[in-house]
Amino acid sequence: MSHEFASLYVHVLVGLTIPGVALTATLLVISAYAAWNPISRKHLDRVSFRLLVYALSANLIFGIVYCMATLSASPSWTCDLISALMNMSLIFSAGMFLWMAINLPLVLGQKVTGQRMEKYYVLGTSFVSLTTTVIPWASGILGWDVANQSCWYRNSDPEAMFRWLFGTSTFWILLACIVEVGAFFTMVGYLIAYEFESRYYRPNTQLSSNSSASSPHPGSTILKFRNIVLRIGLYPLVSCLINISAASLDLHQWKHPEQTDLNVALNLADLGVYAARPLIYGLLAATDPSFIRALCELRNPVSAHSNHPNDVQRTDACLTTVVEFASESDHETVGHVRADDLHQEGETGPSQREMKDIVCQI
């Protein structure tokens, strides 16, 4: 490795890692304060947001140790520890984003209680991340790599390292990506089925019902849920882009260890993808609807409640993304409902208490 490339290597990795660590730490501090404050707590009291906080914490650990490995890597026991922490935080973060993606279809499609399953999400991911880290660490696989002058998997035997890398890191990350995409399309299929069922069932309900309930919104139900679909879809999309790119570059590097110009450039791109993880996920978390609404509540709590007095009675749990639609009972007024309320007009919809419970579980 030439001196020019080594300097570029350090500047690129540090330039990507430090902003990500700073952003992630800031988000965690603000989230902790918002969760502590009674005014904004209701917006963050959700399973998916707590899983997001766990993932951000893992990314924060990864960013710190990755920066340490970049700036002061040397063959010592600290290098072994850094390698273990990097691998464990990668697996744990991927697992948290995996459960974020599949929690919503579990709650809506299978009627699973998200709050009850949360501890199993965390315990299961912790077990996998610890197992896939302790075994190679105890076997002497994680530590100082003489060939690449870095703290990661030791490259003494390329074939053996490929099996270790795939079995204890790449396989689990790719598995999480596949399941995330499957969960997202399951949710899309659930919404499409809901749309067809609503179009068939609502006219019959209107003909047979004598209640004074307002007529259903003429727009597509899927469009009403567009915010929740985008929120859930962003995480598997970004996770797949990052993890598949990193895994593919890792496998190429271990299969082709020759120091050609192309391999050196791909190696830098691989390291850059890892370095950008905290920053990318931090930017994604900063746009989470729950987080944004909690900040708005902290900034101006009086106007947030005064503008929508009915929301105090209807959404004292943790409602976030706003979707506007016209209500026939209000005629010329514009009603405000949350996409996360999963509101279904007419007599087919759940009660207000059920909506609150569902929102807290997703």
pLDDT tens for 121-143 read 999 999 999 999 999 999 988 98
CA dihedral of 129, 135, 136, 139, whole degrees rounded to 10: 160
Task: Please give the model's pTM, rounded to 2 decimal places.
Answer: 0.79
The residue-averaged pLDDT of 304-327 equals 40
Q: Is the pLDDT of residue 75 over 60?
A: yes
What's the confidence (pLDDT) of residue 205?
Answer: 53
DSSP 258: -
pLDDT category, 355, cuts 50, 70, 90?
A: low
DSSP 272: H
Nearest CA to 290 out of 316, 314, 258, 322 is that of: 322
Q: Specify whether the CB–CB gap between 286 and 31 falls below 8 A.
A: no
Among 120-129, 164-173, 235-244, name the one with the lowest average pLDDT: 235-244
Q: What percent of the chain stands above pLDDT 70?
A: 72
The residue-averaged pLDDT of 328-342 equals 38
The residue-averaged pLDDT of 79-102 equals 92
Q: Is the pLDDT of residue 314 over 60?
A: no
Q: Specify whether the CB–CB gap between 278 and 59 falls below 8 A.
A: yes
**Segment 12-44, tens digit of pLDDT:** 888 999 999 999 999 999 999 999 998 888 888
pLDDT category, 352, cuts 50, 70, 90?
A: low
Q: Is the pLDDT of residue 330 over 60?
A: no
What's the confidence (pLDDT) of residue 225?
Answer: 58
User: Phi-psi bin for 346: left (phi > 0), alpha (psi -120 to 50), beta?
Assistant: left
Give the CATH superfamily of 3-361: Rhodopsin 7-helix transmembrane proteins (1.20.1070.10)
The residue-averaged pLDDT of 135-162 equals 83
